[in-house]
Structure 1
Amino acid sequence: MSQPRAIVPGATYLLTRRVLRRHFLLRPDSAITQLVIYTLALSAQRYGILVHALCVMSTHLHLVVTDTRGELPRFLQRFHRLVALGTKVLRAWEGPVWDHGATSAVRLATRDALVEKIAYTLANPVVAGLVQHAHQWPGAKVLVGELGSGALRAQRPEIYFNPKNPEWPEEAAIPITIPPVFSNSEADEFRREIAAKLDQHERRARATLQRQGLGFLGRARASKVSPYKRAMAIEPLRELNPTFAVGRGRTDALNNAIAAVRAFRAAYRKSLEQWRAGVRSIIFPAGTWWMRVFHGAAVDDGEPAAA
């Protein structure tokens, strides 16, 4: 059984979803890019999700978003379902598209964590040895200069989405915003910080490949790889599934986040035990989502501790 987690309106997350057995089903061609952006825009609009960063790799995707209404699970279910259904048609693929593991949702609890994880998201194709600079990646992505000023926009894909159904407009778009913790007056400084972190990632990646005597794959070859092949490089087992990040060296923030998570889980389990015993008047801690949505449980309307 997975650990309970608080779903809090206004929280910002790094989201990661992986393709089944690391197949290249999300190969960065124009059809997949169109599908992902179109479905992301529609799903984010429906559930009040602000999009800050995106990078779609062949075997996984990263998103940094803010959940303004506390509906992250509904957003993820709809977005991933639409991407999977469209991918199955595009690739003539039978069976699951996504890995059986749950989506990684890491709450970004500090400004430092936001800068680190957004830069990490944008740098993914470089760190993976695919292109020398993040802006060269041919797949769906956000560029540093688009943070707070650009938009993700796509026409309705020709597959799966019935043009006669009003649910699927001819075009979908979503602005690329900066996280709410940063004010508009801080936008330029925010972009400079991201650019500096991204440059560090790119420099390290180039130095690593040079030491190994290797080169970058290049955007042309990355776009033509067979979507039915699998990544064969050894990937370390993911023993940890973090629920939050605070940034490097933020000891006080780390301790506060750990305490908040433990307090929520303890309160949730205590409430759940009483619910299972038949006590329907019990109040679950603030941030409880599943029990509130699917079982009508009462939830404390106070703000949970930041995590």
Structure 2
Amino acid sequence: MSQPREIAPGATYLITRRVLRRHLLFRPDAAITQLLVYSLAASTRRFGIEVHALCAMSSHLHLVVTDTKGVLPRFLQFFHRIVALGTKVLRTWEGPVWDHEATSVVRLLTRAAVVEKIAYVLANPVAAGLVRHAHEWPGAKVDVDELGCGALRATRPSAYFDPENPQWPEELTLPVALPPSIEQASAEGFRREVAAEIERLERQSHAELERQGLRFLGAERTSKVSPYERATSFEALRGRNPTFAVGRDQGAAWRVAAAAVRAFRASYRAALERWRAGVRSAAFPSGTWWMRTFHGAVVMDVVLTM
């Protein structure tokens, strides 16, 4: 059984989902970029999700978002579904698009965590040995100078989306919002922090490839690889899937967050035991989503935040 997760309005997350068996179905070409940006714009508008960072790798997708309304599971279900259906049409692909592993959802609890994870997302193509600098990635992405002030735009793809259906406009815009923990007055400083972290990650990746005697594949060659091939680089299976992140050297914040997670889970399990015993008045901790949404369970007003 998976661990219960607190779904709190206003929480910011790093979200990662992988393509089935690491197939390169999201190979960075114009058609898949259009599909991903349009699908994300439609989904975020529907569920009130704010996007802070995006990088679509050939075999997986990274997002940093804020769930303003506390409906993250609904958003992920809708977004992943329309991306999968559009990809199946676009790539003439039979069978599942997404990997069977659960989506990785990591709550970002500090400014340091937000900076580090956004930089991690944007520098991911460099870490993968595909391009030498993050801004060279040809796929769907947010650039560091767009954080909090840019926008991505896409016209409606011809694949999957019915032009007669009013929920699919001819064109959609995806604003790149500042994370709620960053004030507008400090936006430029925030972008500089992210840029500095990206540069650190790029230097680290350059040194690692040089150590291995490898070269970057390059944007042009990456865009021409077959989407039906699979990534062959080493990847550890069934590694740790953290619930939250606080950033490097944030020991005190980590201890506070870990205690809050334990308190939420203990409260949830106690309420679930009462519910299974037939006590329908059992109160679940604030942030309980599944039991409230699908069973109408009582949820406490007191917030057990991380």
Deviation at 1:160, TM superposition (A): 0.8
Hey, what's the Cα distance between the residues in 2 that align with 1:84 and 1:8? Answer: 27
SS at structure 1 position matched to 2:207: helix
Q: Which residue of 2 aligns with 1:251?
A: 251
Residue-by-residue CA offset, 1:243-298 (whole Å, 9 max, x unaligned): 00011111110001110000000100110111111111111100000000000111
Q: Which residue of 2 aligns with 1:305?
A: 305
Task: Structure 1: give runs of 5+ residues left out of the alignment.
Answer: none
Amino acid paired to 1:253: A
SS at structure 1 position matched to 2:209: helix
Q: Which residue of 1 aligns with 2:11?
A: 11
Task: Structure 2: give runs of 5+ residues left out of the alignment.
Answer: none
| 2:264 counterpart of 1:264 | yes
SS at structure 1 position matched to 2:123: helix
The 5 A counterparts of 1:39-118 are 39-118=39-118
Deviation at 1:51, TM superposition (A): 0.3
Hey, what's the Cα distance between the residues in 1 that align with 2:208 and 2:253? Answer: 32
Hey, what's the Cα distance between the residues in 1 that align with 2:81 and 2:199? Answer: 34
| 2:217 counterpart of 1:190 | no
Hey, what's the Cα distance between the residues in 2 that align with 1:27 and 1:16? Answer: 16
Residue-by-residue CA offset, 1:95-114 (whole Å, 9 max, x unaligned): 00000011100000111000
Amino acid paired to 1:228: Y
Hey, what's the Cα distance between the residues in 2 that align with 1:289 and 1:212? Answer: 46
The 5 A counterparts of 1:200-219 are 200-219=200-219
SS at structure 2 position matched to 1:135: helix
Hey, what's the Cα distance between the residues in 1 that align with 2:35 and 2:302? Answer: 39
Change (3 A) 1:255 1:197: same
Q: What's the C-alpha RMSD, in Å, of the aligned pairs? A: 0.7
Deviation at 1:229, TM superposition (A): 0.6
Deviation at 1:14, TM superposition (A): 0.2
Q: Which residue of 2 aligns with 1:22?
A: 22
Q: Which residue of 2 aligns with 1:234?
A: 234
Hey, what's the Cα distance between the residues in 1 that align with 2:4 and 2:219? Answer: 41
SS at structure 1 position matched to 2:13: strand
Moved over 6 A (4+): none
Q: Which residue of 1 aligns with 2:180?
A: 180
Hey, what's the Cα distance between the residues in 2 that align with 1:56 and 1:72? Answer: 19
Hey, what's the Cα distance between the residues in 2 that align with 1:111 and 1:238? Answer: 28
Hey, what's the Cα distance between the residues in 2 that align with 1:171 and 1:298? Answer: 41
Amino acid paired to 1:80: H
Hey, what's the Cα distance between the residues in 2 that align with 1:53 and 1:94? Answer: 30
Identity across the alignment (%): 68
Hey, what's the Cα distance between the residues in 1 that align with 2:146 and 2:43? Answer: 20
SS at structure 2 position matched to 1:64: strand
Q: Report which stretch shifted further, 206-215 or 187-196.
A: 206-215
Equivalent pairs, count: 306
| 2:125 counterpart of 1:125 | yes
When normalised by structure 2's length, the TM-score is 0.99
